[in-house]
Amino acid sequence: MNHLLPEKDAKVVLEILTEELGVEQSQLTTDARLKEDLGADSLSLVEINMALEDRFNLSIPDERLERVQTVGEIFELLAEMLQSPGRR
C-alpha cells in the first residue's frame, strides 16, 4: 500500500490509525476516507495528529492536516514532512 515511507515507519502509521480509529488494518486502504469510511471525528483526528507528531518528532501545521482526507494522504504528508530540510 505504501511506497512513500520506509516499511517500519509505515507500520507505525498503520498501528496509530488502527488504535485511534478502532478499525481493522485491512480497512486502511490508500483511498479510505478518514471521516466517511473510517468514522474519524475531530477528536480522533487530533489524537492521530498528536501521535504522529510524537512518534516522528515533528510539528504538523493545522492547516496542512485539515486538508488530509484519506489514509494515502497521511502517508504523503508524512513523507513530505520527513524529507523537509531543517524539520528537526
Q: How far is CA 79 from CA 7, 24, 33, 40, 73, in A?
A: 12, 23, 19, 22, 10
User: Which among 9, 31, 37, 41 is annotated as catalytic?
Assistant: 41
Please name the residue that has the C-alpha cell 516522528: 56
Whether the Cβ atoms of residue 81 and residue 58 lie closer than 8 Å to each other: yes
The answer to whether 41 is a known catalytic residue is yes
Element (H, E) at 8: helix 7-21
Instruction: Give the residue numbers marked as catalytic.
Output: 41
